[in-house]
Amino acid sequence: MQQLLVTGSDTGVGKTRVVAALARILGEDGSRVQIVKVVETGVVPGSGGDAERALRMSGTQALALTLESFSRPLAPAAAAAAEGRRVSFEGLVEKAWALPECDWRIFEGAGGIATPLDDRGRDWADFAEEAGVDRLVIVVPDRLGAINQARLAFGRAEGAGLAAGIWLNTVEIPDAATAESNRAGLQSAGVPVWAEQGHGADLPADPGAVHRRLSGVHPAGPAADSFAGRCAAILAEREKKHLRRRLRVAPPRESVLNLADNDYLDLARDPALAAAAAEAAVREGTSASASPLITGWTEGHERLVAALCSWHGFDFGLLWTSGYAANGAVLGTLAQRGDRVYADRLIHHSMIAGLLRGGARIQRYPHLDLDRLERWLERDARQAAPALVVTESVFSMDGDFPDLGRLAELKRKHRFFWVLDEAHALGWYGPGGAGLALASGASGEVDVLVGTLGKTLASGGAYSLFRDEAVRDALVNVAGEFVYSTALSPVNAACALAAIGRVRDLSADQGRWQEASRCFRGALRSDGWEVPDGDSPIVPVRLDDEDRALGVAEGLRAQGILVAAVRPPTVPAGTSRLRISLKRTLGPADFARVRSALRAWSPGRGVGR
C-alpha cells in the first residue's frame, strides 16, 4: 500500500479537485483507492464533505471517509474550540493507522501544509510523518506568487524529511508569461513539479507520468531515459542539496586519532586476535569458498555460534557476512504483508530495508517513545495479525537506548515478537560485555538478537541468535543471504571467537569507559556544544546544518582527528551532527585534544560557520 497526503500552499487552492484526479489516475488499473479527509471544517449538516465531493468528481468506486469534522469554517484547532472540543493529533494518527487495507490511500488535509492541527502547533507535515505517508502532494495555484508559495511549502516538507512535489493547479484563466516563469523559477529553485493541471481540466497533463512518479518508478529528470543518465540525475540531485558522498581512502591508522569507526574496545589491532586470524587462515583456509548449505559451514562456524549463544544466553544461532545482510534476512523473512510491525523511528537502514522487503507496513513510533508504542499496542490489541517490535539497543547515530526493561514488560503483556539489534552495545555494556539486553534483565523476552562482528568484535560479519529452532531453520531454508551467499570466512570466525574472550576479560573496566563518556559529554556541553547526556561510546554533537557538520569534520581531519559528519538521509533533515565514537583506550590527553581542536568552531565564535 502507498499513502499520499494532498496538502497545499494555502486554503482554497483546489485540493479536492486534485484528490479526484488522483483517485482516477491511481484507480485506473483496478487498484483499491481510499479517499480520506483527515479533518474537515465548515461542514454543513446533510451535505457531503470533501471526501464525498472528490469521490463524485472522480467518478470512481473509491472508498470515501472522513476522520474528524467540525461545523465552523475555521482552522481545525479553532473550529474544534468553537464547539468546546479539541483536536487530538494522536487520535487522528491512530484513526489513520486503523483504516482498512487498500492499495492507495489519498489523505486530504485542511488548509495549507503548515496549518496547525492542535494547540502544540503540529501541522500536516507532522501528520504525514506520524501516519507513515509516503509522498506529499503540495497543491499550488499556478499564478503570480506561485514560486514563493511553492518554495515555502516545499521547504516545510523537506525540513521534515518528507518526499514531496508540487501540483500546479490552474485555478484562474492562465497568463502564459506567468506560467512559464513559474516553471523556470521552480526548476532553478530545485522544487520538483510533479503535475500540472490545466484550467477546467479533470486530469493533469500526462497522467501516466504522474502515476509513475507517485509510484516511485522513475527518478525525476529528463536524463532518466538512459541508465547512466539516470545515475547522473541522482548525483546532480545530491549535489544540489550538498549531500553528495565521495569514497576516499582512509589515512594510515598510525597517523590519526580515529573517532569515526566502531572499534570501541580498540581490538582491531590486538595481537591475540591477529594471531587467531592468521592461524585460522593457515589451518582452515582464507575463504569459506562456498555457501553454508554446500560446504561453507565449518567447525569454526559452529564453535563461534556456540560461544555467541553462551555469551548472550541464547539457544540457536546463525552467522552472516554483514549486519546489513543479517537484518535484511531476519526481518525480510519474518515480517510479512498484513503483520503489525512497530519500529523505533530511528532504526538502522538495514532493518527498514528488510521490513519493506516482506511488504510489511511499518508503524514507526517516535524515537524511544515507549508510551506511544504501548498506546499503539493497546489500540491494536484486538487485531488478529501477529505483531513484531523492532529496535536497536544503542542507537548508531544517537548513542542513546530505550528502556529495555520496559520493553520486556510490554512484551509480556502484549505477546509481540521482539527483534533487538545490539550492534553498538556489545563490549561496552552488560555482563562480560554481552550487551544491554542482559544488562537490563530483558534478554529472556528477546526473540531474535542481532549482533555484528565488525565493530567491537574487531572482525567482520554478523550473527543472529534465536530462542526458537524453527525460526533459525526457516532462515537456513529461505533467506537468500544464507542460501545463496558464500559463508563468513573462517578467518573472520576465528578472529571473532578470540575477540569474545578479550571482550569478556576487559569488561571489568566498563565503568571507567562509561564514566569517560559522561565526562567528555559534560565537557563538550560546557564548551557550548549541543550534546545529550549518556554514557555510551557514541557521542553525537548536534550542528543541524549539513554544510557546517561537514566543514567541522573536515577541519578536524586536517588536524589528524577523524570523526564522522552524519547528514541526511542517514539522519533526518536538519539534524546533521558530528558522530564522535569513543574507544576504551582514550585518555585525558586525547579528550583534551579533541576539545581544543573543536574550539575553532565552537558555538558563538562565529568562525567557520
Count the site residues for ligand PMP by CB under 6 A.
14
Does residue 37 interact with ligand PMP by CB under 6 A?
Answer: no
Nearer to ligand PMP, 260 or 442 (CB): 260
Answer for the pair 113, 10: CB distance below 8 angstroms, yes or no: no
Whole-number minimum distance, CB 324 to ligand PMP, in Å?
4
Instruction: Please state, in angstroms and as integers, the Cα–Cα distance from residue 408 to each residue in 233, 265, 403, 441, following that order.
Output: 46, 28, 9, 8
Nearer to ligand PMP, 21 or 462 (CB): 462
Rounded Cα distance, 76 and 69, in Å: 9
Rounded Cα distance, 549 and 325, in Å: 29
Does residue 341 interact with ligand PMP by CB under 6 A?
Answer: no
Does residue 322 interact with ligand PMP by CB under 6 A?
Answer: yes
Alpha helices by DSSP H, listed for 9-114, are 15-27, 50-58, 76-82, 89-97
Nearer to ligand PMP, 459 or 576 (CB): 459
Piece of the chain touching ligand PMP by CB under 6 A; list 300-308, 321-329, 402-410, 543-551: 321-329
Rounded Cα distance, 355 and 366, in Å: 18
Nearer to ligand PMP, 204 or 323 (CB): 323
Whole-number minimum distance, CB 533 to ligand PMP, in Å?
21
Q: What is the DSSP letter of 173?
A: -
| Nearest by Cα to 301 from 313, 286, 288, 312 | 288
Closest residue to ligand PMP, judged by C-beta, is 323
Whole-number minimum distance, CB 355 to ligand PMP, in Å?
13
Answer for the pair 452, 462: CB distance below 8 angstroms, yes or no: yes
Q: How many other C-beta atoms can be found within 10 angstroms of the C-beta atom of residue 290?
A: 12
Does residue 350 interact with ligand PMP by CB under 6 A?
Answer: yes
Concatenated DSSP letters of 292-351: IIIII--HHHHHHHHHHHHHHT-SEEEEES-HHHHHHHHHHHH--TT-EEEEETT--HHH
Piece of the chain touching ligand PMP by CB under 6 A; list 88-96, 278-286, 317-325, 576-584: 317-325
Q: At what angle do helices 15-27 and 207-215 cross, to 10 degrees?
A: 80
Q: How do strand 104-108 and strand 33-40 relate by DSSP bridges?
A: parallel
Answer for the pair 595, 523: CB distance below 8 angstroms, yes or no: yes
Nearer to ligand PMP, 496 or 556 (CB): 496
Whole-number minimum distance, CB 357 to ligand PMP, in Å?
15
**Binding string to ligand PMP for residues 370 to 409, with x set by CB under 6 A, is what?**
----------------------x---x-------------
* 200 φ, ψ (degrees, to nearest 5): 75, 0
Cβ neighbors of 443 (< 8 A, separation 6 or more) are 312, 313, 437, 449
Does residue 537 interact with ligand PMP by CB under 6 A?
Answer: no
Restricted to residues 421-450, the positions that interact with ligand PMP (CB under 6 A) are 421, 423-424
Does residue 452 interact with ligand PMP by CB under 6 A?
Answer: yes
Q: How do strand 576-581 and strand 193-197 relate by DSSP bridges?
A: unpaired
Nearer to ligand PMP, 160 or 397 (CB): 397
Q: What is the DSSP letter of 255?
A: G
Cell of 227: 541508465
Instruction: Please state, in angstroms and as integers, the Cα–Cα distance from residue 417 to each residue in 378, 382, 402, 408, 561, following that order.
Output: 15, 16, 17, 11, 42
Nearer to ligand PMP, 410 or 420 (CB): 420
Restricted to residues 458-487, the positions that interact with ligand PMP (CB under 6 A) are 462
Rounded Cα distance, 605 and 382, in Å: 56
Helix, coil or strand: residue 123: coil
Whole-number minimum distance, CB 130 to ligand PMP, in Å?
23
Of 124, 127, 194, 324, the one binding ligand PMP (CB under 6 A) is: 324
| Nearest by Cα to 541 from 591, 569, 577 | 577
Answer for the pair 448, 477: CB distance below 8 angstroms, yes or no: no
Nearer to ligand PMP, 350 or 576 (CB): 350
Of 165, 317, 323, 435, the one binding ligand PMP (CB under 6 A) is: 323
Piece of the chain touching ligand PMP by CB under 6 A; list 217-225, 416-424, 427-435, 505-513: 416-424
Whole-number minimum distance, CB 319 to ligand PMP, in Å?
12
Whole-number minimum distance, CB 421 to ligand PMP, in Å?
5
Nearer to ligand PMP, 314 or 324 (CB): 324
Whole-number minimum distance, CB 447 to ligand PMP, in Å?
17
Nearer to ligand PMP, 36 or 351 (CB): 351
Piece of the chain touching ligand PMP by CB under 6 A; list 269-277, 320-328, 468-476, 537-545: 320-328
Does residue 489 interact with ligand PMP by CB under 6 A?
Answer: no
Rounded Cα distance, 236 and 187, in Å: 13
Nearer to ligand PMP, 319 or 387 (CB): 319
Whole-number minimum distance, CB 322 to ligand PMP, in Å?
3
Nearer to ligand PMP, 92 or 420 (CB): 420
Residue owning grid cell 567491537: 456
Q: Kindly list the residues in this chain that would bind ligand PMP in the complex (CB under 6 A).
A: 322-324, 327, 348, 350, 392, 396, 421, 423-424, 452, 454, 462
